[in-house]
Amino acid sequence: MARPEMPKPEPVHPSLLDLDLPRLEDLAVSLGEPNFRGRQLWQWLHDRRAPSLEAMANLPKDFRARLAERFAAWTLTELAHRTAADGLTEKWLYAAADEGQGEQNRAAVETVLIREQRERRRTVCVSCMAGCPLECAFCATGLGGFERNLTRGEILEQVYRVDAACRKGATTESRTPNGHADGV
């Protein structure tokens, strides 16, 4: 019997990271707030990299509650995290917040952090799509097919998450071979 085709995942609860500054200002005004609330939102999202609306302490509670009905700050769910034996490479697997999908059926997002051993540099490889349309025979991602492009917010969130993980692990990191504890 033919397998029923699963609906393509769609992102749910859009991320505020998808919106540029003018759109954040318009959003604030549309919710009855002064224009400057949009800039405050921007600062929380990009300067302080707040993962949730709850963390945005200087925004009025009712404004945050109205925002939370339609948006989230970070939307990915971490499913797995692995560190290579040399301690220099880390890989994360996230599930995107796709409508009507169980955690295991949501679009999968992979992010890799590579530390240069000799230089004070880190490289973050982010996903810009879930799955891949090219179907290279040796690749598990390709065999799973193409699901959807990721949003700007989902791509940016990967960078912010790795940065947060690096800052959190800075003490541990100072014991790794490169000895660097600066951010991404």
- Binding stretches for ligand SF4 (CB under 6 A): 132, 134-136, 139, 141-142
| Nearer Cβ to ligand SF4 (6/134) | 134
| Nearer Cβ to ligand SF4 (44/92) | 92
Of how many residues is the chain composed? 184
| Nearer Cβ to ligand SF4 (142/169) | 142
| Nearer Cβ to ligand SF4 (87/142) | 142
Work out the burial of residue 182: count CB atoms within 10 Å of its CB; fewer than 13 is exposed, 13-18 middle, 19 or more buried: exposed
**Spatial contact of 164 and 55, defined as CB atoms under 8 Å apart:** no
What is the smallest separation between the CB atom of 67 and ligand SF4, expressed in angstroms? 35
CA dist 142 and 45 (Å) reads 33
Which residues neighbour 96 within 8 Å (Cβ) at sequence distance 6 or greater?
Answer: 9, 11, 75, 76, 106, 107, 108, 109, 130, 150, 154
What is the smallest separation between the CB atom of 91 and ligand SF4, expressed in angstroms? 14
Which residue has the CB atom at the shortest distance from ligand SF4? 142
CA dist 45 and 157 (Å) reads 10
| Nearer Cβ to ligand SF4 (12/132) | 132
What is the smallest separation between the CB atom of 110 and ligand SF4, expressed in angstroms? 9
3-class SS of residue 44:
helix
| Nearer Cβ to ligand SF4 (114/164) | 114
What is the smallest separation between the CB atom of 109 and ligand SF4, expressed in angstroms? 13
CA dist 92 and 80 (Å) reads 6
What is the smallest separation between the CB atom of 155 and ligand SF4, expressed in angstroms? 16
What is the smallest separation between the CB atom of 135 and ligand SF4, expressed in angstroms? 6
In the chain, how long is the greatest CA-to-CA distance?
A: 58
